[in-house]
Amino acid sequence: MISRRCKVKIYFRGVDISEYVESFTYSDNIDFTDDISLTLSDKDRFWSNKFFPETGDVLTAEIQVINWNKTYDNRSIKLGSFEIDSINYSVTKLTLNAVAVPIFSNIRDEKNYKTWENVKLSVIAGDIAKKAGLSLVFESNINPDYDKSEQSGEADLAYLEKLCKAEGLAVKISGKQLVIFDEAKYDTFEPIVTLEAGKSYFYGYPSFKRNAKNIYSGCEIKYFDSKTDKTYTGIFNAPNMKGVNKILKLQEKFNSESDTIDYNRKAKARLREQNKKEWTASVKLKGDIIYFAGTNVMLKGFYKFDGKYNISTCSHSISRSGYIVSLDLRKCLEEY
């Protein structure tokens, strides 16, 4: 087979700076902002002179693999653009960290006060995305109504994440987009690959964990509305929870009087958020651009830990030592 290799393509101020890259890491998270870090060689003082970067400068990144799994297996993936948020320089090396979120948008830091009335979640998300200079991608059939939604001294992103988590939705920023999606739907997707003990190219042995401490068999949400003098209740019981007989009991205001019919859905979302990390794993593999947060993999040959897992965090690391992917996984909850 012709020599297998991988490349990182980095562009800065319209210039291809790939030849200076000594190491590169791309971190992709299911419910957080994508980011990259890279170390650049500066033996000829290219960076310390006229091309020294500034905070907020934009980098674009791409990973290429050539003859990767077989001859002529040539593929690439564009990772999007990232804004530099920290710079470290040490004579012959420059280290940069950059994030997908516009760093001067204040979406993560500035505390704001705003009230929305008679509004859908997608409209609130659209307002926050527009304010941050992002486009909104709303990948969910769940789009609840709110009689009133009050942001009180919270950062825009934190406030939106709070609303979405209550509905079983995830939020991330990637490629200048604010993406909202249904995690439960992602768990139903087919796995992109089977990772089998003794056959797949692991670095070291995968680590596994089962957390049984805060796992519940069902959820009950109650809310007393003084305006109507009624108590509203939502109940959801998880299937196949043998040996578990604990109910998660919560008091939570409903979004809208028109949304009370979906109170059971809120109970389901809260239970899923609590139980989704019962079974987790961490693995390191030969790198490949097929791995991204939100996709599923099948683990085989690990006995009790076999099954379909969702990638919650994926880190692509490329250096002179090679290309390694590190995955943090949680077992899919396909039944709810």
Q: Tell which of 73, 99, 125 closes a domain.
A: 99
Tell me whether residue 91 is in a domain.
yes
CA dist., res. 25 & res. 33, Å (int): 14
Tell me what pLDDT residue 260 has: 53
* Euclidean distance between the first and the last CA atom of the chain, given in angstroms as a whole number: 46
Tell me whether residue 336 is in a domain.
no
Tell me whether residue 157 is in a domain.
yes
Residue 329 has a CB neighbour count (10 Å cut-off) of 25
Q: Same structural domain for residues 74 and 161?
A: no
Q: In 3D, which of 117, 102, 119 has the Cα closest to residue 57?
A: 102
CA dist., res. 128 & res. 166, Å (int): 18
Tell me whether residue 256 is in a domain.
yes
What counts of helices (H) and strands (E) characterise the chain?
Answer: 4, 21
Tell me what pLDDT residue 327 has: 98
Residue 3 in tokens: 């020599």
Tell me whether residue 104 is in a domain.
no
Bridge pairing between strands 247-251 and 322-331: unpaired
Spacing of C-alpha 208 from chain mean position: 20
Tell me whether residue 106 is in a domain.
no
Q: Same structural domain for residues 325 and 198?
A: yes
Q: Same structural domain for residues 138 and 253?
A: no
Residue 117 in tokens: 């009335």
CATH for 61: 2.40.10
Domain housing 238: 218-275
Phi (first) and psi of residue 221, to 5 degrees: -115, 130
Q: How many structural domains comprise the chain?
A: 4
Q: Same structural domain for residues 67 and 116?
A: no
Q: Same structural domain for residues 145 and 203?
A: no
Residue 203 in tokens: 């670095």
Spacing of C-alpha 279 from chain mean position: 18
Tell me what pLDDT residue 262 has: 76
Total-model pTM: 0.91
Sign of CA dihedral 138, 143, 147, 151: negative
The type of residue at 290 is I
Q: Same structural domain for residues 192 and 324?
A: yes
Tell me whether residue 115 is in a domain.
yes
CATH for 157: 3.55.50.10
Tell me whether residue 246 is in a domain.
yes
CATH for 192: 2.40.30.150
Tell me what pLDDT residue 104 has: 67
Q: Same structural domain for residues 117 and 205?
A: no
Q: Same structural domain for residues 93 and 125?
A: no
Residue 90, judged by CB atoms within 10 A of its CB (0-12, 13-18, 19+), counts as exposed
Q: Same structural domain for residues 15 and 85?
A: yes
Q: In 3D, which of 96, 86, 66 has the Cα closest to residue 5?
A: 66
Q: Same structural domain for residues 204 and 290?
A: yes
Phi (first) and psi of residue 249, to 5 degrees: -110, 125
Q: Same structural domain for residues 29 and 55?
A: yes
Bridge pairing between strands 145-155 and 169-174: unpaired
Q: Tell which of 66, 99, 132 closes a domain.
A: 99
CA dist., res. 186 & res. 124, Å (int): 23
Residue 55 has a CB neighbour count (10 Å cut-off) of 12
Q: Contact, 172 vs 160, CB < 8 A? A: no
Tell me what pLDDT residue 212 has: 85
Question: Could you tell me the mean pLDDT of each successive run of 10 residues in the chain, 336 residues long?
Answer: 86 93 94 90 83 90 94 93 92 92 77 94 96 93 91 94 91 88 94 93 92 92 84 89 89 72 85 94 96 96 96 96 96 90
Q: Same structural domain for residues 11 and 78?
A: yes
Total residue length of the chain: 336
